[in-house]
Amino acid sequence: INFDVLISTPAYMPKLGKFARLLGPKGLMPNPKAGTVTLDIEKAVKESKAGKVEYRVDKQAIVHIGVGKTNFTLDQLNENAAVFMDSLKSMKPASIKGQYIKSIFISTTMGPSIAVENIYN
């Protein structure tokens, strides 16, 4: 599969259902929550090209996100990571006191993780 995002209208979702087993595990199945199932395709394409990234939190409250590809420069990777961390920090509920981000690790897709100093609390 040679694309990063699949955007669809609601009318085409039944047809895409045939490919759910292929697209789902790769995170490519269109989803209304992610904004990839929409009637405003033009807006969704512009957001995607501008670098909109979806991230989710798993059951252990761990956030997984890709901050770049192998062809990105170090500056691009740093900028993406900083923007993500700022976004995550801004989402901290006022009711939560103390440390919001407990630890930060970075890794390649299938590589070992490396602890990063947490300067975001």
Q: Are residues 60 and 110 in the same domain?
A: yes
Count the alpha carbons within 13 Å of 37 in the hemisphere toward its beta carbon.
14
Contact (Cβ atoms closer than 8 angstroms) between residue 16 and residue 8: yes
Where is 116: in which H helix or E strand? strand 114-116
Q: Note down the domain range covering 111.
A: 56-116
Instruction: Clarify whether residues 77 and 99 are in a common domain.
Output: yes
| pLDDT tens by residue, 9-62 | 999 999 998 999 999 888 889 988 888 999 999 998 988 887 777 777 778 888
What's the structural domain count of the chain?
Answer: 2
**Do 54 and 48 meet the contact criterion of CB atoms below 8 Å apart?**
no
Establish if 96 belongs to a structural domain: yes
Residue 8 corresponds to which amino acid? Answer: S
Confidence (pTM):
0.61
Tens of pLDDT, residues 75-100 = 999 998 888 888 888 888 888 888 88
In a domain, 19, yes or no: yes
Claim to verify: residue 45 and residue 61 sit in the same structural domain: no
Q: Tokens in use for 83?
A: 């923007």
